[in-house]
Amino acid sequence: MESPLVTTEWLANHVDQPDLFLLDVSVDNVVGKEPIVYEELIIIPGSYKVSIDHELSDTETAGIHVFPKVKQIQQVAQKLGLTPKSMIVLYDDQGIYSAPRAWWIFKSYGFERVFILDGGLPKWQAEGRATAANHLEPNSQSGDSTYERNPVAVKSSKDVLSNIDSEESTVIDVRAEARFYGKAPEPRPGVRSGHIPKSCNLPFMNVLTSDGLTFKSVDELKALFDAQNFSQNASFIFSCGSGMTACIMLVAAIVAGYQNVSLYDGSWAEWGADASLPIEL
């Protein structure tokens, strides 16, 4: 699979490309890492804003960041004039945080040329590149493409529960170690502490550089996964608090050469809130 990442240098050289759509998919609520706080809106010039919380989440279904329905993808595509073959570059204002989530959404719905800006807005700014204060206003109502979600891209709690016995996939929980072992309280009320039985813990910050802004190198990511003794054909289900940071680890696995990856969309916010589901500490 082609790398899901592009560099700030690459974007600077291609940002004016006519068929490129630059999407700001930053979120307001950052959990699991110290957020970068901005006093005013700063963006990369030529960006459209797409909201993960509203446009790319199923707000009609109970839960946090529920994977969007087909009709929502169609609405976003029509608003911006996207097609499954459009070149899309996604970034967020934390470096690497919410862009991997948006990437997995677009990829799961069949978009072929979608990429994550490694380092996002912070790296772009740090390099002294031009910024802007307003997003572009979409003016397209075109696009008659049809979309269908890859059925293996997203797992339900039922799938994960069944996997405890079958062990067909390794469930990787990317929350901090203290939350995984129930030694730190969950940030959401009504959610139990602990983890999914037989899951393993690999905190998402482990795949990012020390400043938390970019992914580690390909060799470093391969070494990290190799240290877990995973086979190259291993199948993974990634989980976190609400399905956001799990996608960071999912992308890291793809960069490291793994292909059989999926997301437990409900993640611990769903599992920990359901007393009928088993937990371990």
User: Is the same domain home to 168 and 222?
Assistant: yes
Q: Please, are residues 68 and 105 in contact by the beta-carbon 8 Å criterion? A: yes
User: Is the same domain home to 165 and 262?
Assistant: yes
* pLDDT attached to residue 31: 84
Task: Give the pLDDT confidence of 203-256 residue by residue, as tens digits.
Answer: 999 999 999 999 999 999 999 999 998 888 899 999 999 999 999 999 999 999
User: Is the same domain home to 117 and 168?
Assistant: no
* pLDDT attached to residue 143: 62
| 200 in catalytic set | no
Average pLDDT score over the chain: 93
Domain count along the chain: 2
User: Is the same domain home to 258 and 162?
Assistant: yes
145 in a domain, yes or no? no
CA–CA dist 93, 99 (Å, integer)? 9
Task: Give the pLDDT confidence of 174-216 residue by residue, as tens digits.
Answer: 999 999 999 988 888 889 999 999 999 999 999 999 999 999 9
**Considering 114, 240, 250, 256, which one is annotated as catalytic?**
240
User: Is the same domain home to 166 and 97?
Assistant: no
* pLDDT attached to residue 141: 62
Model confidence at 75: pLDDT above 70: yes
182 in a domain, yes or no? yes
In percent, the amount of the chain with pLDDT more than 70 equals: 98
* pLDDT attached to residue 62: 73
Q: What is the pTM of this model?
A: 0.94
CATH code, domain carrying 217: 3.40.250.10
73 in a domain, yes or no? yes
CA–CA dist 19, 89 (Å, integer)? 11
Model confidence at 157: pLDDT above 80: yes
71 in a domain, yes or no? yes
86 in a domain, yes or no? yes
Q: In which domain, by residue range, is 182 found?
A: 154-271
Task: Give the pLDDT confidence of 100-142 residue by residue, as tens digits.
Answer: 999 999 999 999 999 999 999 999 999 999 999 999 998 776 6
Cα of 86 vs its chain's centroid, Å = 19
Report helix, strand or coil for 41. coil
